[in-house]
Amino acid sequence: MNFIKRLRVARMIPAILLLPLLAGCTEMGPGTTFDVRSNIAREQLSLFMLTFWLGLAVLVVVCGIFLFVIFKFRVQDDHDKSDIPEQTHGHTALEIAWTIAPVILVIILAVPTIRLTMLQESETARTADNDIVVNVTGYQWWWKFEYPELGITTANELHIPEGRRATFNLESADVLHSFWVPQMGGKKDLIPGQDNFLWFIPDEGSAQEEPYYAQCAELCLGAHAYMRFKVKVDTAEDFDAWVAGLQGASLQKVSADPLVQQGKQAYIQKGCAGCHTIEGQAVGNERYPNLTNYGQRSIVAGLEPNTPENLATWIRDPQIFKPGNYMPTLFSGAEGEEEQIEAIVAYLHSLGVDDLSQASAER
Ligand code: CUA
């Protein structure tokens, strides 16, 4: 192979190496914005599709004319190179046409854009009857969800009922974050001191076992990429049951199971209770995730399945799942610590789980 040929082959290598990136182009990944489940997401998708097809039409027309011209007017073999083509200066009809055409395109895009913006952003859009209001606070690197009208607070896992409007008041406790539930529409920044909001109505029938994926979409340093959360869309009955469970949490009893009791002691002794509130059990700090009814959560740290193994891994070394986060490492690998971790896991997983919480009168 001569040098030129080798060079040509070598030029293909970066292109081949980039091919796996196409795997990111699936429509149905967890962060898809194509499989929409709310009114706002559907409006946004239709605006995107309109923009896409118009853009594609412009591309086809412009490239078509370009290709037509370079083939039609290419230099012929018998062309006299000294022959200079006829020189023209402007073409009024053409100039008017290519000024008006983009204006028409902009108008076609502007009308639905303004309509959607008014639907989403107007102050009259801010409140509605019968909506679920959630005050969302972004922290480095987790989410607090407070339901002021229901008097409950949760972390990293949001519950909303299907078919009913949900309004989110967005506030940040530190730096910029961004609230984004891809299948429900979005996204909107959380800015310290600024009163932002976002709303949508999850479709009737969008309630499902599997929670919807959601993610902080604004670079907020450290563990930004791990600042995920889950949105559980419930049927009306499931939502009411979830709310009643949290509202009744301060009255709950802790299981008399010895491991759970030992875990409760360890939770206090290791200082967990100084940060993490558990209704009726521990008054922590607003700055850290509320763990009330933690046994009902589906995730650890906002991103891993809430299995005993994952929760133990998180407690043992919080830097493994979410590098850079502010939870201290309380365990050094000393003897007896694994039993303590196991007990804390049993305690946390017993919270809000009916058969355990009603099993005993002991607090
Ligand atoms: Cu919060 Cu990125």
Residue finishing a domain among 247, 274, 293: 247
21 belongs to a structural domain: no
Structural domains of the chain, count: 2
Distance separating alpha carbons of residues 214 and 43, to the nearest angstrom: 19
Give the closest residue (by CA) to ligand 1 atom 1.
177
Domain assignment present for residue 231? The answer is yes
Q: Read off the pLDDT of residues 155-176 as tens digits, 9 standing for 90 and up.
A: 999 999 999 999 999 999 999 9
**Residue 29 Cα to ligand 1 middle (Å):** 20
- Picking from 201, 226, 247, the residue at the C-terminal end of a domain is 247
Residue 313 lies in a domain: yes
Residue with tokens 């493994």: 320
What is the rounded CA–CA span in Å between residue 124 and residue 167? 12
Cβ 216 under 6 angstroms from ligand 1: yes
Low-confidence winner among 5-19, 61-75, 90-104, 345-359 (lowest mean pLDDT): 345-359
**What's the CA gap between 359 and 22, in Å, rounded?**
53
Residue 37 Cβ inside 6 Å of ligand 1? The answer reads no
- Whether 296 is covered by a domain: the verdict is yes
Give every CB contact of residue 310 below 8 A, 6+ residues apart in sequence: 300, 304, 321
Is there a single domain that holds both residue 38 and residue 165?
yes
229 and 277 together in one domain:
no
At residue 362, does pLDDT exceed 50?
Answer: no
Asked whether residue 257 is domain-assigned, the answer is: yes
Measured in angstroms, how far is the CA atom of residue 91 from the centroid of ligand 1?
53
Query: What is residue 258's predicted lDDT score, i.e. its pLDDT?
Result: 92
User: For the domain that residue 294 is a member of, what is the CATH number?
Assistant: 2.60.40.420
Whether 189 and 157 share a structural domain: yes
* Nearest atom of ligand 1 to the alpha carbon of 177: 1
Whether residues 54 and 197 share a domain: the answer is yes
**Statement to judge: residues 213 and 296 lie in one domain:** no
Render pLDDT for 251-265 as a digit per residue (tens, 0 to 9): 878 888 999 999 999
Alpha helices in the chain (DSSP H): 3-18, 39-72, 92-121, 236-247, 258-269, 272-275, 308-316, 337-350, 354-357
Among 247, 263, 290, residue at a domain's last position: 247
Ligand 1 centroid vs 333 CA: distance in angstroms?
Answer: 31
Distance 285 CA to ligand 1 centre (A): 21
Range of the domain at 323: 251-362
Report the C-alpha dihedral over residues 289, 292, 293, 297, rounded to 10 degrees.
Answer: -10
Residues 233 and 261 both lie in one domain? no
| pTM summary value | 0.83
Residues 188 and 145 in one domain: yes
Average confidence score pLDDT of the chain: 89
Is 78 contained in some domain? no
- How do residues 326-339 score in pLDDT, each as one tens digit? 898 988 888 889 99
177 lines ligand 1 (CB under 6 A): yes
Is position 16 within any domain?
no
| 239/140 Cα distance (integer angstroms) | 28
pLDDT at 358 over 60: no
| Adjacency order of strands within the sheet including 228-234 | 157-161, 228-234, 212-216, 177-181, 185-190
Identify the residue with better confidence: 144 or 2. 144
Higher per-residue confidence, 42 vs 121:
42
Predicted pLDDT at 1: 58
Q: Please compute the mean of the pLDDT values over residues 85-92 and round it to a whole number.
A: 85
CB distance 232 to ligand 1 below 6 Å: no
Look up tokens 């809430």; give the residue. Answer: 306
Ligand 1 near 220 CB (within 6 A): yes
Do both 38 and 125 map to the same domain? yes
Mean pLDDT of 281-295: 90
Query: Quick check: 363 and 357 in contact, CB under 8 A?
Result: no
